[in-house]
Each structure stands twice: as C-alpha cells, then as structure tokens.
Chains A and B, each alone.
Chain A
Amino acid sequence: MTGLIEDTGNTENTENTENTEPRTAAGRPAPAPRRRKPLGVRAYKAFRVAALIAVVIFLVAPLFWMLLASLKTNVDIYDSGKSFFFTPTGENYANVLQRNNYFVFILNSFWVAFVSTALSLVLGVPAAYAMSRFTMHRSALVVLMARVIPGVSLLVPWYYVFSNLKMVGGFEVLILSHMFVSLPLIVYIMMSYFDSLPLELEESAQVDGLTPIGAFRRITLPLSVAGMATAGILSFIFSWNNFMFALVLSGSKTKTLPVAIFDFVSYASIDWGGLMAAATVVTIPIMIIALFTQKYIVSGMTAGATKG
C-alpha cells in the first residue's frame, strides 16, 4: 500500500530502519555489572515473563488442541475425561489421506501456489523496480487497488467469462485468480525493497559500461534475492491459504486443500477427528515453511510499515 499511504518525498527515513542491528548486537551480550535491582524492576520482570508465557499459550494452545483431536478417535473426542490422556491413533490421517484422496488436493494446492507465485514474480519484480526507480506512484496505485477490491465483485464476471471459455475447473483459471492476489503483494513488497536499495551500485555499473537493463539484470536482481524470497514466500502462503477464489473457480480435478476441508463439513454429521486431521494436514506444510523462513515472513509482513 506504499502508494496509498505515504507521500512521494519520504526517503530520509531509510536510515531509521537500520537501527535494528544495534538492538540485537549490542543489547544482549555484556550486561552491566550486577547490582541488586530495585523491587519495581524485579516485579516488572516477573510480570513480563508471566505475560509472555500467557501470550504464547494463547497463540499456540488452539493449534495444539487441533493436533490432539486429530489423533483421537471420535469416541475419545466426545469424552471430556480424555482431553489430554488418550491412546493416540493414526486412523484419522489414514482416512483423510487415503479414502478422501488428500494427496491429490495437496498436489493441487502446491502446484497452484507455486506457479502463480513464479509467474507473479516474473511480472511483478520488474514492475516494482520501474515503479520504485521512476517513482510511478499512480501506476503503483493501480496494481495495489487489487488488494483493496472485494474479491466477490470480480468473481461473477470472471466466472462468466471463464465458463464461456470452458476454463472453469482448469488450473489456468485458478492460477490466474491467485496471481491476482500474489502480484499486488509482490509489487508492494518489492517496491519497498527496491526503495531501500542504494542507487549508487547501479549507477557505477552503468559508468562501467552496462546498459540500464543490464545493470538491473546483473547488479540489482542478484542483490534482491532476499527481497524476492520474502515476496515469493508470502505469496506462496497467501495462495496456499486462499479459499474464496478456489471455492468458485476450482473443479473436482483442481480442488485445493481449503475447499476440500470446507467440503468435509457438508456431510450430515461432522467427523471431528477426520476434520481436525484434514485441518492439520493443510496447516502443517505451511507452518514448516514458516519456521524455516521466519525472518523473510516478518520482513514481508512489515514491509513499508515503518516509513513515512
């Protein structure tokens, strides 16, 4: 949303963001020589630890509960005496993966997320570069509008056009619709990344005889790998989690995981164990990715937030 939020002339704040380094570097080692802290400080420390533990429990406990339920039989789920102590079973997972064919949905989700992210990077990175370097804020606004528009208003016309083209139920439509989410995200993140990249490197490369496009390709792009990783990972996650577009535009062959989970409850009575196993199956891959790419996700989520 850079274009919407900030004015054109705010570049001096980039220095501010560099303050992150000293915090972790200088803050942790070598504490001041030990002195007995006053009571207020110690009370605050105890409070802080307690509060942090509460926060962690609040955030993690529901997920833990989902995981537990996915390992219970339906009889155990209904038995409040067996909330935490029960004999775990893998039956739900076997059910979900084999009988309901979740492997296909996993592959579908993965394929759609991967291709839409890759194509969005190809389109979005050069666009973000141009918009950042030439401060095309009005053009950026056009792309970022996509983030603001309610998806439903696009779905009716899309559905009509694509069903006329006999494309509904195919991967192409799903990928196109997911790109619609990914592209603005990637442009947004990459714009703030390019904004923070110094111009001097490109300029000196051009002095050394590279064309502007050559400088982009051989200097700026390699320097932007971290930014592209950030944008790509976030776009992958958003595509993986996307529900509404797939709900309308996917067919029986292209169904993605969120839709598959949703279909799970349309049966007469809810098979809680199976449902929780399905919910776990969809969240686990994305959480594993998140664990390994933590810092990228954080920088992507906060992109452009501390400027202006």
Chain B
Amino acid sequence: MSVLTPPRSAQSEPPSGRNAGRAPGARENFSAWANRHRKWLFAAPAMIFVGVLIIFPLAWTLYLSLTDSQGSVRAASEFVGLENYLTVLSDGERFWPAVGRTLTFTGVALVCEVVLGMCIALLLWRPFRGEKWVRVAILLPLVATPVAVGMMWRLIFDPNIGFVNQLLGMVGIPPQPWLSGQDTALGTTIFMDVWQWTPMVVLILLAGLTSLSEEPDEAARMDGANAFQRFFLITLPLMMPTVIVAILLRGIDALKTFDILYATKGKGGGSFHEVETLNVYAYGLSFDYNQYGLSSAVLILFFMIIIGSMWLLTMRKKAVSK
C-alpha cells in the first residue's frame, strides 16, 4: 500500500466532541452497546454473508458427492457412499489427464510468469525516461476481460488467417495449428495466460524490489561483486518472500483458470479435451452433462489439491522468511 497517501481533506475536520450535545437515553445506551461490541458488529455482516454463501454450498457439494445425483438436483438421488470418488479416482480417461493438465498449465505458466516477471521487474526497477508509458502498457493486459482476451488470441492464432502464422510464414516456418492442434492447444493457452498475468507478477515483484533497502546491494558492489552475483546472492534471497507471495496469489488463480479455456476451446476443453483442466471438467460435468454426484466428487478433490498446494507454499514461505 506504499503508493497511497491519505487525502488532505481529513485533517480539516476537527475531531471535536459532537457527542457532548446529545440527549441521554436509549440512543446513548445503544451507542454504548455498539461501541462495546464493535468488533463483532463490524465483522459479523461480512462473515455471515460469506459464510452463508460458502459453508452451505460447500456442505451441499460434499453431500452431493456421496450421492448418485444427476439430471436434476431436484430428482431423487441415492446415497452411494464413496462410489463417486472411486469412479473418479479410477478414471484414467478424463480425470487424471485433467489433473495432469491442471498441474502442467499452472506449473509452466507460473514458472514463465515468475521468471519473465522478475526480468521485467528488474528492467523497470531503476527510474528511466518514459517509465509512465511502460507502466501503462503493463496495466493493459491485466485489466482486459479474459473472455475478450481469449477471442483476441483466437483470431491471432487462427491457423489460416492468424497473424502469428503470417509472421512465421515471413521467416519460412510452416503454419502451426496452435489452438486447434491436439498437442499445441494447451501450450497456446499457457502462452495466453502468461501474456495476461505476467504483468501482475511484475507489479508485485516491483513493489518488493522498491521496498528493499539499498545497503546490502551497495556493500556487495563495494566488495566488487558483479551484477549477476549481486542479483543471485543478494537481491534474490531477499526477494524470496515476495516471490512466494506472487506464486501463491497467481497460483490460486492459475489452478482455477476457466475463462480463457472455455472461451477459446468451448465445452469439454475441445473435441479431444486438449485443454480440459479440473475446473473445466467439473464445470462441464455440472452444467453441460448434469452429473452432479460425479462433479461434486471432482470438485472436492480439486479443492483439496488447491488447499494442499497453498499449504505447502505457506510452509515454504515461513521457512524462507526466517
């Protein structure tokens, strides 16, 4: 929050006791009560709102995952115990490949975004002329609507009329199928994700870099360390906590990526399920095929994967911070 500075107007309002003139009575009692309980009075509405919208559906999803509910949630369903989980876990055709794709997508995208993001953040670190314009450019992909971004890349990567194949043609490389290729589709969507979200990593890392103190770097320079040594031995270790925050924030969203995948490949992640990640798979089971029991089991497993990876990262961060 370093960029924010409190507005000046606040000082103009003197905190003089307006309460003094107020008539005593029920109102005063209420105010005293409210002040005493302000902690929960303030926090409760938001927590109740989120709690009702989360805990109830989550409990329901858990329940559905133990039934054979399908077709309509209203239709009678039977309790089948862990059968859905067994079905899902032994499903080598859709579930495990989807797990693989989810992890590949997230892993590759994260590595690219963090490495590229660190390079760009280092480029931007020291002030330069035109800084303002570069910062605007960095912001644009970040705020663009993912569905629109998906459509944009669909045109650019179109095998016949896309600009990318046009460019490749100029240097003599034969046209590639990109999104419509069975082997290239996932990579292409990873590229889109990298384009859109590297800027976020840049912003986070840049905030981290600017909050570093200059002294260790300066001292290393005095001792004759070159730029690479200074980065890998001084800056990077100091930046590790911020890097992990960036990975955490970005990782959660990357695991749950849906918009660009559904926008570019449609239902089921394409006709060969090329880009079907867990989220796309679960969405399809729920809303395209109405297999609520199965989809709930997938979702619970998916949720466990997310929580698990976040827990690992948080542990790692604690270790690094010490």
Given contacts A148-B252, A210-B17, contact A287 B57 (CB under 8 A): no
Q: Closest residue to A10 on the B side, CB-wise?
A: B321
Contact yes or no, B9 A222, CB < 8 A: yes
Distance of A46 Cα from B200 Cα, bound (Å): 26
Q: How far is the CB of A91 from chain B (nearest CB, A)?
A: 17
Distance of A160 Cα from B287 Cα, bound (Å): 12
Q: How far is the CB of A300 from chain B (nearest CB, A)?
A: 9
Q: How far is the CB of A61 from chain B (nearest CB, A)?
A: 9
Contact yes or no, A230 B4, CB < 8 A: yes
Q: Closest residue to A295 on the B side, CB-wise?
A: B3
The residue from A211, A226, A227, A247 contacting B31, defined by CB atoms under 8 A apart? A211
**Total residues of chain A contacting the partner, CB 8 A:** 128
B-facing residues in A15-57 (Cβ within 8 Å): 16-20, 23-24, 27-28, 48, 51-52, 55-56
Distance of A222 Cα from B212 Cα, bound (Å): 30
Given contacts A51-B123, A150-B306, contact A65 B147 (CB under 8 A): no
Given contacts A262-B263, A279-B148, contact A150 B256 (CB under 8 A): yes
A232 within 8 A of B: no
A-facing residues in B196-240 (Cβ within 8 Å): 199-200, 203-204, 206-208, 210-213
Q: Closest residue to B15 on the A side, CB-wise?
A: A205
Contacts of B252 in A (CB 8 A): 1, 147-148
Contact yes or no, A150 B279, CB < 8 A: yes
Q: For A7, A66, A272, which residue has the most chain B Cβ atoms within 10 angstroms?
A: A66
Contact yes or no, A241 B145, CB < 8 A: yes
Distance of A276 Cα from B142 Cα, bound (Å): 18
A286 within 8 A of B: yes
The residue from B16, B282, B300, B321 contacting A308, defined by CB atoms under 8 A apart? B321
Given contacts A80-B166, A124-B46, A130-B42, contact A209 B139 (CB under 8 A): no
Given contacts A52-B134, A218-B15, contact A306 B4 (CB under 8 A): no
Contacts of A143 in B (CB 8 A): 46-47, 50
Contact yes or no, A127 B47, CB < 8 A: yes
The residue from A136, A152, A262 contacting B282, defined by CB atoms under 8 A apart? A152
Contact yes or no, B61 A257, CB < 8 A: no
Distance of A31 Cα from B282 Cα, bound (Å): 58
B5 within 8 A of A: yes
B189 within 8 A of A: no
Please report A residues at the B interface, Cβ cutoff 8 Å: 1, 4-5, 7, 16-20, 23-24, 27-28, 48, 51-52, 55-56, 58-60, 62-63, 65-66, 69, 77-78, 80, 83, 123-124, 126-127, 129-131, 133-134, 136, 139, 142-143, 145-160, 176, 179-180, 183-184, 187, 192-193, 196-197, 204-205, 208-216, 218-219, 222-227, 230, 237, 240-241, 243-244, 247-248, 257-258, 261-262, 264-265, 272, 275-276, 278-280, 282-283, 286-287, 289-291, 294-299, 301-306, 308
Further contacts, 17 of them, CB under 8 A, given A226-B5, A248-B287, A301-B142: A20-B210, A59-B140, A123-B45, A124-B46, A149-B303, A150-B299, A152-B295, A153-B303, A157-B61, A187-B46, A225-B6, A227-B1, A244-B258, A258-B259, A262-B147, A279-B145, A279-B151
What are 6 A-B pairs with beta-carbon distances under 8 A?
A5-B314, A62-B153, A83-B166, A153-B303, A287-B144, A298-B207
